[in-house]
Amino acid sequence: MLAHPALAEEVPRLDHRGALGGIIAGGVAFQETVLQYGVAERGRAALVLGQLTFPLGVQGNEWTVGVGTAFSDPVSVAVAGGVRLYFGDEAWKTFVTIEGTLHVTPAVSAGPRLGFGVQWDFAQVAGTFVQLAAEVTAGQGIRFGASVVAGFQFRTYIFE
């Protein structure tokens, strides 16, 4: 017996294809910047991250651009952009981020950042995630950093 299409239960989409999104996250940054005259920052600090995401291709992957602030002494501010690549289109999925990072305070430096995470999309337009990331940047010194963040992603499908 065939079910009538009007009676079929609609399954929510969780694949991110064509989605414009916003990410807000908080966590801990571990950092050390070595300048020519000595250590500029060392230790851990509270971290706040905000990003916008844009569709990349038809697989549900995303372009990212955002700002992160670590509340250390001195405060560290960075802008970053790159890609967020998802593995899976179910509610639970893993992802990898590959980004370029530009730190503007306390010393200007730029370099790559690589992250790995797990995301749970609890609704078609929202999900929560945990991510680990590491970076090495160079400029007015060499900066080594790592972070652990948890946050939310909110989406709309206006590009479809």
Q: Decide if 99 is inside a domain.
A: yes
Both structure tokens of 24:
């807000």
Give the residue numbers spanning the domain of 129.
19-156
Both structure tokens of 37:
């005259």
CATH of the domain at 49: 2.40.160.20
Q: Decide if 6 is inside a domain.
A: no
pLDDT of residue 8: 53
Both structure tokens of 139:
């400029």
The number of distinct structural domains making up the chain is 1
Both structure tokens of 75:
């405060």
Cis peptide before 74 (omega within 30 of 0): yes
pLDDT of residue 156: 93
Digitized pLDDT (tens) for each residue of the chain, 160 residues in all: 455 555 456 777 778 888 899 999 999 999 988 887 777 778 999 999 999 999 998 888 999 999 999 998 888 999 999 999 999 889 999 999 999 999 998 889 999 999 999 999 999 999 999 999 999 999 988 999 999 999 999 999 886 7
Both structure tokens of 11:
């399954």
Q: Decide if 3 is inside a domain.
A: no
How many whole angstroms separate alpha carbon 7 and alpha carbon 35? 66
Q: Decide if 14 is inside a domain.
A: no
Q: Decide if 25 is inside a domain.
A: yes
